[in-house]
């Protein structure tokens, strides 16, 4: 499956952005979707994930309560709604797709086999 992330940009602290991840090439609903981010000089880290059916989500502690992951399988698109953004949220954000036998959310980077190109989010103070 090919993934294309979009929606990044420059926003002031406290603002919101919605990222989108459009998929093509395979049946979107076969894949769990994850959102990761990577700031300069840091490891790529898990931010949020949504299960194949969209019924389960998981979040990193740093974004819980502020970010919401969702998906529309009929549109082959996943979303990451980011609210109350902070300067420390500044990073390149990536969406990824992986298969889960159980249908659960995938947390580990190594569980994902397809990655989008990344979209930059910059939060100014």
pLDDT digits (tens, 9 = 90+) for 2-38: 999 999 999 999 999 999 999 999 899 999 999 999 9
SS3 for 94-105 is: EEEEECCCCCCC
Mean pLDDT over residues 86-101, rounded?
96
- CA–CA gap between residue 83 and residue 48 (Å, rounded): 14
pLDDT of residue 100: 86
Query: Each residue of 2-41: b (16+ CB within 10 Å) or e?
Result: ebebebbeebeeeeebebbbbbeeeebeebbbbbbbeeee
Average pLDDT score, the chain = 96
Percent of the chain with pLDDT over 70: 100
Cα 75 to chain centroid, rounded: 16
- Which residue in 46, 51, 77 sits closest to 62, CA to CA? 46
Confidence of residue 102 (pLDDT cuts 50, 70, 90): confident
- CA–CA gap between residue 75 and residue 54 (Å, rounded): 13
Mean pLDDT over residues 60-72, rounded?
98
Confidence of residue 103 (pLDDT cuts 50, 70, 90): confident
pLDDT of residue 99: 94
């Amino acid at each position: 499956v090919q993934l294309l992330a979009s929606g990044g940009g420059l926003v002031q602290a406290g603002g919101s952005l919605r990222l989108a991840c459009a998929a093509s090439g395979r049946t979107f609903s076969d894949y769990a979707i994850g959102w990761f981010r990577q700031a300069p000089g840091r490891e790529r880290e898990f931010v949020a994930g949504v299960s194949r059916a969209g019924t389960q989500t998981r979040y990193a502690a740093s974004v819980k309560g502020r970010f919401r992951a969702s998906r529309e399988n009929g549109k082959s698109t996943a979303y990451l709604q980011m609210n109350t953004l902070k300067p420390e949220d500044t990073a390149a954000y990536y969406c990824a797709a992986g298969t889960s036998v159980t249908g659960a959310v995938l947390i580990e980077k190594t569980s994902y086999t397809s990655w989008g190109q990344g979209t930059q989010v910059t939060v100014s103070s």
